[in-house]
Amino acid sequence: MHELGVVFYIIKDVKAVAEENHVDHVSSVVMDIGEVSTVVPHLLTDCWRWAADKEEMLKGCELKINTIPAVTYCDNCKKEYETVKFGKTCPHCNSNNTWLLRGNEVEINSIVV
Amino acid sequence: MQPMEKVKVIEIKKSVFAENDKDADNLRKELRTKGVYLLNLMSSPGSGKTTTLIQTINRLKDKIRVAVMEADIDSDVDAVKIKEATGIPSIQLHTGGMCHLDAEMTRQGLDNVALEDADLVVLENVGNLVCPAEFDTGAVRNAMILSVPEGDDKPLKYPLMFSVCDLVLINKIDVMPYFDFDLERCKSYIRQRNPKAQVIPICAKTGEGVDAFVQWLLNEVNSWKTN
C-alpha cells in the first residue's frame, strides 16, 4: 500500500549512488523484495514508472525485482520451513516459537549504468 | 561504427528503510536531549484514536504538558476536535496523499510544536494498519488501538503492526457482547506476534480503563526524562 513512498526512497538512494559514481543515467535498478515484505511487486513497478520518468537521470530506467522466498526458523525443533505455506506455526513440531529468517527484505541490490 | 556502450553494475545492497531508520534514531536522540517523549499512535480509521486521546489528555493535562500532532491525508477535523475538547496545542499535518509518516515528515511536524513547553507529544498517525508499521517515525514508543468491531483476529492479519507496537489498547470494550470478540483469544494472538506488547482494554466513550493508559504514559514520560 505504501509502494509510492518506497519508490521515493529508492529514487533518493539511487540518485545519491549515481552521483557518487559520476553517472548521468541509470538503465536499471535491481531490487531484492522478500515474499512477506508487504511491498507488492507490480504496484512497485507501476509507481516506479510514474515517478522515475520525472527524473532526468532515471528516464526509461527499468526496475527489476528479485523475489526472496520467505523462510521461518523454529527455535523448538531447530528446523526451517516455508513461511507463506505454514505461517507462524512450525509444520514439523507444531510450535509457535518461530521467527522469520528471511523474506521481509526491501533492498536495493544494485544499479546498472 | 558506434563504440559499444559500456555496462557497469554498481552494488548497493542496502535496505530501502535504512535511511529512514537512521533519521528516526537521530530524532529520538534529539528528543532525549530536549526531554520530550514522542508517542506514535496507530490504528485503523474509526477505531477511536481521537476520542481516546481526548479522554486521556483531559486526565493528563494537569500533570504533564501535552501536545498533539494529527496526521491525515486531508482535512483538519481531528486537530480542531482535539483543541476544542482539551484546550491543548494541536497541529495538523498533511501527508500529501501518502499512507504513512516517516521520520523526516515527523521532524517537519515537530518544528511547528513548541517543544520547550511539552513533556509528551502524541503523533496520531494516518489510520492504516499496514504502511505506518514499516516506517520508524522517531517516536520513543509505538502504540496502537484495536477496536472491538474490527475483530479479535487482526493480530494474525496485520502481523507487522502488532510486532512493532509496545502497547495495544483494545477500545470499545462496552460493545463486546454484540460482537464475536474474545478478549483472551485476541491477547493470545498478540502475544504470538509480540510477547513483549502490553495490552490495556479500554472504552474511550465511558472512560473505562483510560486511567491505566494514563498511568502507563506517566511512567513512560517520567522514565524517559530521568534515565
- What pLDDT sits at residue B1? 47
In this structure, the strands spanning A106-112 and B37-43 are: unpaired
Residues 50-89 in A contacting B (C-alpha not used; CB under 8 Å):
88
The full set of domains in chain A, from first to last, is 3-69+103-112 (3.30.2320.80)
Tens of pLDDT, residues A1-44: 688 889 999 999 999 999 999 999 999 999 999 999 889 999 99
Out of B12, B100, B159, whose CB is closest to A17?
A: B12
- At B172 the three-state DSSP class reads coil
Dihedral sign for Cα atoms in the order B210, B214, B219, B221: positive
Out of A1, A27, A107, whose CB is closest to B15?
A: A107
User: Testing the interface with A: which of B6, B10, B21, B131 to mutate, by most A Cβ within 10 A?
Assistant: B10
Count of CB atoms situated within 10 Å of the CB of A14: 23
Cβ contact B10–A110 (<8 Å)? yes
Q: How far are the Cα atoms of A20, A99, B28, B93, B174 from residue B209, in angstroms, in the given order?
A: 54, 32, 29, 29, 11
The full set of domains in chain B, from first to last, is 18-218 (3.40.50.300)
d(CA B101, CA B93): 9
Q: CB contact, 8 Å: B98 with chain A?
A: yes
- As for the ipTM of the complex, it is 0.83
For residue B136, pLDDT over 90 is answered with: yes
CB B36 within 8 A of CB B138: no
Phi, psi for B203 (deg, rounded to 5): -135, 105
Tens of pLDDT, residues B149-202: 999 999 988 888 999 999 999 999 999 999 999 999 999 999 988 999 999 999
Tens of pLDDT, residues A1-12: 688 889 999 999
* CB-CB neighbors (< 8 A) of B14 in chain A: 13, 107-108
- What pLDDT sits at residue B134? 86
* CB-CB neighbors (< 8 A) of B16 in chain A: 6, 9-10, 13, 106-108
